[in-house]
Amino acid sequence: EPEVTQTPSHQVTQMGQEVILRCVPISNHLYFYWYRQILGQKVEFLVSFYNNEISEKSEIFDDQFSVERPDGSNFTLKIRSTKLEDSAMYFCASRGGSSSGANVLTFGAGSRLTVL
């Protein structure tokens, strides 16, 4: 079964450092997402990406965050200068399109970010 792949599975970084989280969405999917989950809390939307540009973003997704699709397969989330409160599990997700059955989000296994 096709899956969304995320790397690294866990990253530990010092406050103020830049971090890049990588995702390989399902190959024929068109919409890509980043969500964040602070330990024990709900899954929070960060950003959606379609047709090589951001389509929606939340208040959490401030100037410290950026996303890119540098080639045909990877989808990255960059945090420029990490803060302690950025510690969370970051989930990448993708979905196919607008037709029925293609609305389902498939999540990756997540990248745990720990900021010290």
Q: Cβ 59 to other proteins, closest distance in Å?
A: 12
Is residue 15 a contact point for other proteins (CB under 8 A)? no
CA distance linking residue 114 with residue 70, whole number of Å: 25
| Strand ranges of the sheet holding 19-24, from the earlier edge strand across to the other edge | 5-7, 19-24, 75-79, 65-68
Q: Which amino acid is at 35?
A: Y
Residues forming beta bridges with residue 97, ordered by sequence position: none
- Please identify, using beta-carbon distances, which residue of 54 and 116 lies nearer to other proteins: 54
Residue whose pair of structure tokens reads 């900021």 in the numeric block? 115
CA dihedral (85, 94, 31, 23) in degrees, to 10, reads 60
- Please identify, using beta-carbon distances, which residue of 41 and 81 lies nearer to other proteins: 41
- Please identify, using beta-carbon distances, which residue of 76 and 106 lies nearer to other proteins: 106
Is residue 96 a contact point for other proteins (CB under 8 A)? no
Is residue 25 a contact point for other proteins (CB under 8 A)? no
Residues that bind other proteins (CB under 8 A): 31, 33, 35, 41-45, 48, 50, 55-56, 91, 100, 103-110
